[in-house]
Structure 1
């Protein structure tokens, strides 16, 4: 597809502006290198990370209807770089679009709350798309390949998709939710070698971490060990919550499983930006808990 004049309403999410600030930085650096314009939705609210609906489905729908309406005001697709945000907001978008036909009274109720707050109504006129699939479907593998100035040849990458990206919605329009290939295809487009392992489409364990910490860390450890067993030089994830459990908590994971791991975990835009010649310093690679130096050394950076 054409890679010209791409523009999105950018929903950075909470984690990328806090604990994973490097994701925000690398997304900006990558899109700038590709000539993609991002209009940040600075008035957007947290999507709720799936927790709002535990108390009220109406709360989750109303909060995210407002987020989507902010993008609709700009007549742009809503772009996120968080698998969890993608899963939650896109699921709400699907549900509200269905309600336009099957239960318009419910949508009127949601829009009534928005009106009381002086917000624009949800119209169902746009789409919610993760950065990964925006690059795949809107920009295209070939166009990405043509932008590569630093091939990642020799680097073995293990994708970790995160469950919200693949299976939060009733349908997955861009990929196979049980055997996705988008990340692996993107690795190949920038010269890296994808490796396949059992846990690449499973949960990282983050949702369990607040009440079943040991089980959460065992899950993360299992996935990291499986990736290491395939010969991976790094894991690459499109979800900052997965990144927190796999990278930030990797030292704690090591204590729980009684084994040293030391596998670097990169955010998806960091990897692609490296291939486009963006300097590692611009991508916040020094912010990771597990050193990314082995990756940079293998690439001669």
Structure 2
């Protein structure tokens, strides 16, 4: 049995509660055990380092140390959390060997707060990588009870999953195939389009809203024109910009879109026979009913 220290992140426990629900449902169905890190802090989504790199490193060293204390890998289901915490893990492992003074400074802050020290003894792994590299697509294929035949899925990877960490052992950061391979495994058809590895626009949304929505709109339009029935993303922040804000995006680009956006565990969970009501699919702003109708579930 696979077992992970589970870092759900902030967004999945708030605005994208359906991600939290579907991750729980999927991992239970697959026999993956999650030990939730209830004392973990927000990773900062890249904002802490704007004020202090030391702050970002210390906060996330503590998050990783919580997983290390359980002797488990830290599992995320958010590409932003993966990118931030994973990069901190890389940086501190490097510092342990080449900048011991900085390494001890970080651990000094943790000791002051009576936290376990960061050791650099575990791994930070996104749910996508866990499915592909640990669980295995051959094993996943044996769990499929409802082939998603005829469903055309367009991946939206998000920036942080592919480009934040220096090493990406599970995929090619420029020409990724992990999501598409998952789609094939569950019987869906991958749709390729230019924007699948680009930024969704979320980081711009607070100060350049129109530009952010134009970016999101262009990606959604490209996917629709390529024949997609839905977008599938491993990042809840991308989901917010592509799904929750899609009505606002439509107003900015002056076009109707209406493309459903699924979280990765929702899609996989449907294929292993979990019913839609357990996956929070009714929480989406853009209705997911066209996807369910295409699959013959409604």
What is the TM-score of this pair, normalised by structure 1?
Answer: 0.98
Give the counterpart of 1:70 among 33, 44, 66.
66
The residue aligned with 1:137 is 133
Distance 2:46 2:169 in 1: 21
Distance 2:192 2:112 in 1: 50
1:173 CA drift (Å): 1.3
Distance 1:142 1:112 in 2: 45
- What's the C-alpha RMSD, in Å, of the aligned pairs? 0.3
The residue aligned with 1:29 is 25
The residue aligned with 1:228 is 224
Give the counterpart of 2:101 among 102, 105, 114.
105
Give the counterpart of 1:293 among 282, 289, 293.
289
Aligned 1:263-282 pairs, distance under 5 A: 263-282=259-278
Give the counterpart of 2:124 among 119, 123, 128.
128
Query: Any stretches of 5+ residues in structure 2 without a counterpart?
Result: none
1:83 CA drift (Å): 0.2
Deviation sequence 1:209-252 (CA, Å, 0-9, x none): 00000000000000000000011000000000000000000000
Deviation sequence 1:72-93 (CA, Å, 0-9, x none): 0000000000000000000000
Distance 2:72 2:262 in 1: 28
Q: Which runs of 4+ in 1 moved over 3 A?
A: none
1:172 CA drift (Å): 1.2
1:170 CA drift (Å): 1.4
Distance 1:161 1:198 in 2: 12
Distance 1:246 1:70 in 2: 32
Query: Any stretches of 5+ residues in structure 1 without a counterpart?
Result: none
The residue aligned with 1:58 is 54
The residue aligned with 1:261 is 257
The residue aligned with 2:280 is 284
What is the TM-score of this pair, normalised by structure 2?
Answer: 0.99
